Amino acid sequence: MSRVAAIDCGTNSIRLLVADVPAGAAHTDLLRRMEVVRLGEGVDATGRLAPQAIERTRLVLAEYAAAAHDLGATAVRMVATSATRDAANRADFEDMVVTTLGRAPDVVTGREEAELSFLGATASLDAAARAHGAEPPRPPFLVVDIGGGSTEFVLGDGSGVRAARSVDIGCVRMTERHLHGDPPSAAEVRRAEDDIRTALDVVSAEVPVAEAASLVGLAGSVTTVAALALELPAYDADAIHGSRIPVDAVRAVTADLLAATRERRAAMAVMHPGRVDVIGAGALVLRVLMDEFGMTEVVVSEHDILDGIALRLARG
């Protein structure tokens, strides 16, 4: 049994998982936390991480380091993704992490990010299906991780990853590039759609998406869309994990989010405050990719790169 701490620092949020990972069995969560710090605020325009964004991240990271220590984690790994890869001043961020956590972050490539997401997302799909009284989704899986700065696409099955591609169409990046109105105008939405489709052309040239038997969606944009589609009275991870959302429901939720004002989005019972400003773009990425790739439903996973980091750390 290994007790490990995994930290995922993305463009929009920083998350912690402390878990016990037995050999050959499902891991048990001891603590999960997520805080929106917007590390990638403005990085698409400036190419640099803002000092205030680094400081917001430092404050939360200090709390995570203390929690991992108090729970007795014997190994800690922090993975940093899209925003950090893109930043000219990433050394400032890395120095802060070493000072705060005692070790450097792993600034992973898009390929490794995709592989970690695939491992985390698919490890518990069979168990989630049983909990819902449903048949397990069929491989091969196209796992799609819609992050803040980028979206990862990875095709694989039980034997591992066949192909993967990361493209810069995350929910924060799409919002900052295109969706400026409250609510965004039809012209803004069309420009975002065009940008997403251009990126999907790159994906389809490298990933044989037609081979996928199941689409698996993960991260906060997808889980929030699922919660809205399921009409949950409050956010319920157990109800969301393993749920199957038809494309018509994704279209309806996306249209509603893009037509809503910020005030109305913030009032939605399942909405995390940190997703209010970017959920429309995240939902749009999901809807466009489902339409472009002819996907009839998305299997929603609450497990993602964070779980993949923990599993890879424990297994060596």
Among residues 168, 143, 282, which one has the least CA distance to residue 220? Answer: 282
Q: What is the pLDDT of residue 241?
A: 92
Give the C-alpha separation, 83 to 247, whole Å. 30
Q: What is the pLDDT of residue 159?
A: 82
Q: What is the pLDDT of residue 110?
A: 73
Q: What is the pLDDT of residue 24?
A: 67
Alpha-helical (H) ranges within 178-269 are 186-206, 220-229, 237-240, 247-259, 262-266
Give the dihedral sign, CA 278/280/283/284. Answer: negative
HSE at residue 111, side-chain half, CA atoms within 13 A, is: 6
Q: What is the pLDDT of residue 194?
A: 97
Q: What is the pLDDT of residue 113?
A: 79
Residue with the larger pLDDT of the pair 158 and 255? 255
Q: What is the pLDDT of residue 25?
A: 67
Question: What angle (nearest 5°) sits at the alpha carbon of residue 164, between those of residues 179 and 97?
Answer: 70
Q: What is the pLDDT of residue 117?
A: 83
Q: What is the pLDDT of residue 304?
A: 84
Q: pLDDT tens digits for 49-92?
A: 999 999 999 999 999 999 999 999 999 999 997 678 778 999 99
Q: pLDDT tens digits for 229-246?
A: 999 999 999 999 999 999
Among the residue ranges 155-159, 190-194, 283-287, the one predicted with the least confidence is 155-159
Mean pLDDT of 24-52: 88
Label residue 23 by pLDDT band (50, 70, 90): confident
pTM for the complete prediction?
A: 0.80
Average pLDDT, the chain: 93
pLDDT at 29 over 80: yes
Q: pLDDT tens digits for 283-294?
A: 999 999 999 999
Mean pLDDT of 118-139: 88
